[in-house]
Amino acid sequence: MCVNRCICTNLTFRELIDRSQRESLDFEALRVRTGAGGECTMCAPYIRAALRTGRDSFPVLNESELDALTDSQAPDRRSE
Ligand code: FES
């Protein structure tokens, strides 16, 4: 089982990464424009990690694993 989308909006992490890059949107701006991460909020840590790392699919992670992923030294792909 993998996590690759916001279920509430049915937007994939790939779509969100692409839109973030295309429109220079950070997580909060993306949330406001798309609703992804702003409904039930369960996908929010995954979206943050996707934007941070460029990954569009994740295993189901516990909270500490998500924290480690979003706090990692991985470059923010929007600035590349
Ligand atoms: S799964 Fe993304 S806001 Fe609910």
Spatial neighbors of 25 by CB under 8 A, at least 6 apart, are 19, 33
Q: What is the atom index within ligand 1 of the atom nearest the CA of 44?
A: 2
Across 5-29, average pLDDT: 98
5-72 fold: Arc Repressor Mutant, subunit A (1.10.10)
pTM of the model: 0.84
pLDDT-derived band at 72, boundaries 50, 70, 90 = low
Q: What is the atom index within ligand 1 of the atom nearest the CA of 41?
A: 3
Cβ atoms 6, 56 nearer than 8 A: no
Higher pLDDT, 19 or 76: 19
Residue list, ligand 1 pocket, CB within 6 Å: 6-8, 36-43
Residue 79 has pLDDT above 70, yes or no: no
